[in-house]
Structure 1
Amino acid sequence: MLTVLIVVHLIIVLALVGVVLLQRSEGGGLGMGGGGVSGFMTGRGQANVLTRTTAILATAFFVTSLLLTVLARYQTGPSSVLDRVAPAATQNGPAAPTGSGPGVLEELQRMQGGPAQGGSEAPSPQSPAPAAPQVPSSQ
């Protein structure tokens, strides 16, 4: 049902774009919408038909848009943002640090090969100064 409605919606959209482009405008559109057309209809009759067609297609566009929205809502079922967030936080671990593990600075020092300090201890005066950043050299 949803697929059929999507196809009908797309056909309506293409027809609406075509009808709007056929209408006479100051800019000319496609150049087919008016002027000295002396065959099928007069300029005034053609404008009335195109205006009515545009209104009908616009109404059909809004109706199919609303139907697509309603059908999409019933197919997915009700959901809540809180239902999506809560399982993700429990699966990935706690969101906030608990203070039981090493901090960011200790992890960086450990990665650089320096001694890892405790979380609340002050750095000892005998600890070596951090190494200078290394700049890549071009060859």
Structure 2
Amino acid sequence: MENVILTIHLILALLLIGVVLLQRSEGGGLGMGGGGGSGVVSARGAANALTKLTWIFAVGFIITSITLTIIAAREADSGSVINQIGGTPAPAKPETPAAPLGGDLLPPAQTDAPLAPPRPDAATEGNAAPAAPAAPAAPAQNN
């Protein structure tokens, strides 16, 4: 049922756009008709026909919009998407209290600091001085 109403809604939307674009701002639709005749094909008759069509499409569009909203609201009462899938929602994380306006300006305590992984050269770091680069060898002299 929802798909049928949605299809009608989309068709009405396209028709409404088309009818509005056909109208001229002065009231004549596409400048149809000749001089000031009073027939159906005159500028005034075309404007009246396009105006009536605009109202009909607009009322239909509003009715289908309200109907789709009611259908969506009824389906929303059935629960969340997670419940429909069958999964369990993740537990809610407790919120931490907000800091006062000035905030906590102290550095974190040692227990709050993240643990750093041990470095491979940590065992020799304090015991030995870094090695100096090797000096280039002096060229040999042949006498």
With normalisation by structure 2, the TM-score equals: 0.53
Q: Which residue of 1 is the match for residue 114 of structure 2? A: 110
Structure 1: gaps (5+ residues): 27-31, 81-86, 98-103, 114-139
**Structure 1 residue 25, shift from structure 2 partner:** 1.5
Q: Whole-Å Cα distance in 2 between the matches of residues 4 and 109 of structure 1?
A: 60
Question: Residue 49 of structure 2 aligns to which amino acid in structure 1?
Answer: V
Does residue 34 of structure 1 match 2:30?
yes
Q: Which has the higher helix share?
A: 1
Instruction: Map 1:46-125 onto structure 2 (within 5 A).
Output: 46-77=46-77, 91-96=91-96, 105-106=108-109, 109-111=113-115
Uncovered stretches (5+) of structure 2, i.e. residues with no partner: 35-39, 81-87, 98-106, 118-143
**Residue identity opposite 2:114 in structure 1:** R
* Percent of pairs with identical residues: 38
Q: 2: CA distance between counterparts of 1:96 and 1:108?
A: 15
Residue identity in the other structure for 1:105: P
User: When the two structures are superposed, what TM-score results if normalisation uses the length of structure 1?
Assistant: 0.55
Cα 1:57/1:2, change in 2 over 3 Å = same
Q: Aligned equivalents of 1:105 and 1:43: distance in 2?
A: 80
Query: Aligned pair in 2 of structure 1 residues 53, 72: CA closer, same or farther (>3 Å)?
Result: same
Considering only aligned residues, what root-mean-square deviation do their CA atoms show, in Å?
3.4
Q: Which has the larger radius of gyration?
A: 2
Q: Deviations over 1:88-120 (max 9, x none)?
A: 7x81432226xxxxxx8247743568xxxxxxx
For these two proteins, the number of residue pairs brought into alignment is: 95
Matches within 5 A, 1:116-135: none
Cα distance in 2 for residues equivalent to 1:75 and 1:48: 41
